[in-house]
Copies of this chain bind each other. A is one copy, B any other.
Amino acid sequence: MRVPVPIRGPFSLPLRLFGIKISRMNPNLCTICESMFTRVKKSKQVPIQATVLFADVRGYTTLSEDAVAADIAEMLHGFYDDCAEAIWERDGIVNKFIGDAVLAIFNFPITQSDHARQAVLAAMDIQKRCSQKMKLQNPDGSGKNLSLGIGIGIHSGEASIGEVGTAYKDFTIIGSVVNTASRLQSAANAKEVLVTNDVYQQVSDLFPDCESRAYALKGLEKPVTAYSLS
């Protein structure tokens, strides 16, 4: 749906009565896509071509055992903001944050012919923004800062997007593309961006010297060929 909807200012007031406001997933969108999905699309789920990006903070579990909760919250604030800005600048949506991880989608609802490329650019931007800021005071009391790295996984392909649940409705994306991206992210080291062959073909001009490697990923039967971008 490409209809201009007033989401800011006095004209947005009557729309708010119907629950239409700025989407949390991208401030340039309204909530029609997420909260009225079934009505707009006439189906609970629709198939789309999309790129899925997962990013998370390496060593977060170990850290959260020792570090001060306020320090962790401060670090997460920075991480959420950096991720959201990098993703929004490339017209992607932040589907959700869970703890120290983010799930972003490119090519829905704003369609982009180069969605895989945009996702990679967002990933490089997240790495760049976070490399300076992701620091926590070392809980060993030495006064030194611990530097935290981000691991990112990206995959492109066909997925199913829409609403899940009736009692609790959630806007989310389903399919093996999501699971592969999530597992690649788990395999990525700190400061690494791992992408599948489908994604690499769209950005090979930017990273001409990357070599592929086969990764055995948890839950996936066949090894996945992935490229580490840097």
Contacts and interface: CB of A to CB of B under 8 A. Distances in A.
A199 to B, nearest CB: 18
* A: contact size bracket: 35 or more
Number of copies: 2
A21 B24 contact: no
A221 B96 CA distance: 28
Interface in A161-175: 162, 164-170, 172, 174-175
A19 interface: yes
A65 B172 CA distance: 17
B80 A164 contact: yes
Contact of A81 (B16, B44, B97, B166): B166
A176 interface: yes
Contact of A219 (B16, B47, B61, B85): B61
Interface in A52-94: 59-62, 64-65, 69-70, 72-73, 76-77, 80-81, 83-85, 88, 94
Given A98-B96, A175-B69, A165 B61 contact: no
B84 A221 contact: no
B44 A73 contact: yes
Contact of A76 (B27, B88, B174): B174
A220 interface: yes
Contacts of A97: 164-165, 168, 170, 172
Contact of A167 (B47, B62, B81, B179): B81
